[in-house]
Structure 1
């Protein structure tokens, strides 16, 4: 089985971004990362994103608010960042605490700064197949990996396990744009094992540790694992039981070291796109 590592994809994207960045001169694209509270996974993602973007030569600022902040207070602070003309892109770490109306904030965000594709306008554009859209970074990271591997999806049977607006649904639209024949499986799907086993490409985005094993994977299938979970030994793992599929699949992505690695490079790509569009208009 061939292992498709994120590091190789990241290197290719970063090389492309360095060329783009030279065109900006002293006007360095600027990302605002907004975090509410001290969730360890949010902090880890924030650090990783800042390290990756700073390493490319991009500017990052983080805006951190207490978990007890009210909806009204957060909305006021969010608007300040949203309206700041020195900021080209915004990454809002979610989920937000329950007292904050997340949907209301998603509606507020400037679609041109919404580089993680959370606004209704960007999601609508993704579903319409509009190239000007910012798709959610994780969903687009999957496409980057598939493209890097030289996989032609035209007519291929692709099964996505998971239907969230963060990955499953927008990813299905991106796959359709590649002319794949897409099936979405979810918690109510009957005979999921057979549906997955019939797929030429399986994308696991269910958020459940080692859910997909050898009984879900057909011979020579390509398996893309989007999941980030902790297993029974408190070790990082994906939605796929990697050990059980390694003699069946033709290609698979590891966890860690797979799709998650590429996500922050897609974020950087979106930031440069947003800054470039701002310069044009």
Structure 2
């Protein structure tokens, strides 16, 4: 069965619209600032999606492109935005150039404005994990086991494929905090098929094809694809061939329209919560 994050995202979007209405009644216009560095080809598609949703929601969005800049200039800008009461959410779009210390940049963002949820003391949950959580909760509704969601997760063999800083790594860390220790596979993992064949849930964040196939997943597995790449035809493709695995997986997400729209919706839900927090603390 296919689980479309785009459909699940509608509920979150409705909540955002309710938040925005209340904020506007109190004279607050939510604002997000997106900072980009490096060549446009690295960040354009991701930023365009954010700007498009901001426009749809009538949220004020500012895109600051620093192109090739120094760490000092970026840190100075972040300090200015931290102090700006009209800015509620700050995003420094990844990946960052090699001359920029990403840990220092994360720590430089006010935790009350870190809507990406990267800081350990951030006020917000990781949007990507909230998206995965919703998808798994949807899958659980079809399970005959009437147990708590976290207990249900702990009862499953989970494998995360890929350890990237915006995909696999934060998901692994979040699962660990919930008392779940997933099997982890990356490009250096030998006998990766053995891990996949045992997995009840596979969360793939590689952006590569051919790793997850119909012959190395078990019947009834749940497949969640985060990674994307462009095929030879120029179209976005996921980490697995949907037609190939649809008769084997019990649930799977499509690409596009799977995790992405839900991830984006939760990012903006974090933004409206940041604006609400700002309202209370002002």
TM score, norm. by length of structure 1: 0.86
1:96-134: CA deviation from partner (whole Å, max 9, x where unpaired): 223333332122111111111233434xxxxxxxxx443
CA shift in 2, pair 1:211/1:234, >3 Å: farther
2: distance between equivalents of 1:231 and 1:7? 22
Check conservation: 1:143, 1:174, Cα contact below 8 A.
no
- Distance apart, 1:41 and its partner CA: 4.6
The answer to whether the aligner puts 1:147 opposite 2:146 as a matched pair is no
Q: Map 1:153-172; keep pairs closer than 5 Å.
A: 153-154=152-153, 155-172=155-172
Q: What is residue 64 of structure 2 aligned with on the other side?
A: 63
SS at match of 1:121: coil
Q: What is residue 203 of structure 1 aligned with on the other side?
A: 203
- Distance apart, 1:83 and its partner CA: 2.3
Check conservation: 1:211, 1:241, Cα contact below 8 A.
no
CA shift in 2, pair 1:111/1:208, >3 Å: same
Q: Which runs of 5+ in 1 are unaligned?
A: 123-131
- Distance apart, 1:177 and its partner CA: 6.1
CA shift in 2, pair 1:16/1:210, >3 Å: farther
Check conservation: 1:35, 1:42, Cα contact below 8 A.
yes
| Aligned-residue RMSD, C-alpha | 2.2
Deviates more, 1:164-173 or 1:3-12: 164-173
1: distance between equivalents of 2:197 and 2:100? 41
The answer to whether the aligner puts 1:49 opposite 2:50 as a matched pair is yes
- Distance apart, 1:238 and its partner CA: 1.2
Check conservation: 1:209, 1:227, Cα contact below 8 A.
no
Deviates more, 1:147-156 or 1:202-211: 147-156
SS at match of 2:256: coil
2: distance between equivalents of 1:28 and 1:43? 25
Q: What is residue 20 of structure 1 aligned with on the other side?
A: 19
Check conservation: 2:42, 2:95, Cα contact below 8 A.
no
Q: What is residue 247 of structure 1 aligned with on the other side?
A: 247
Q: Which runs of 5+ in 2 are unaligned?
A: 142-148
Check conservation: 2:30, 2:271, Cα contact below 8 A.
yes
1: distance between equivalents of 2:134 and 2:97? 32
- Distance apart, 1:257 and its partner CA: 1.4
2: distance between equivalents of 1:86 and 1:32? 10
- Distance apart, 1:270 and its partner CA: 0.8
- Aligned residue pair count: 269
1:221-265: CA deviation from partner (whole Å, max 9, x where unpaired): 110000111224433111123232122111111111111122210
Deviates more, 1:5-14 or 1:19-28: 19-28
- Distance apart, 1:181 and its partner CA: 5.8
1: distance between equivalents of 2:181 and 2:107? 31
The answer to whether the aligner puts 1:6 opposite 2:5 as a matched pair is yes
TM score, norm. by length of structure 2: 0.86
2: distance between equivalents of 1:56 and 1:236? 25
Check conservation: 1:139, 1:166, Cα contact below 8 A.
no
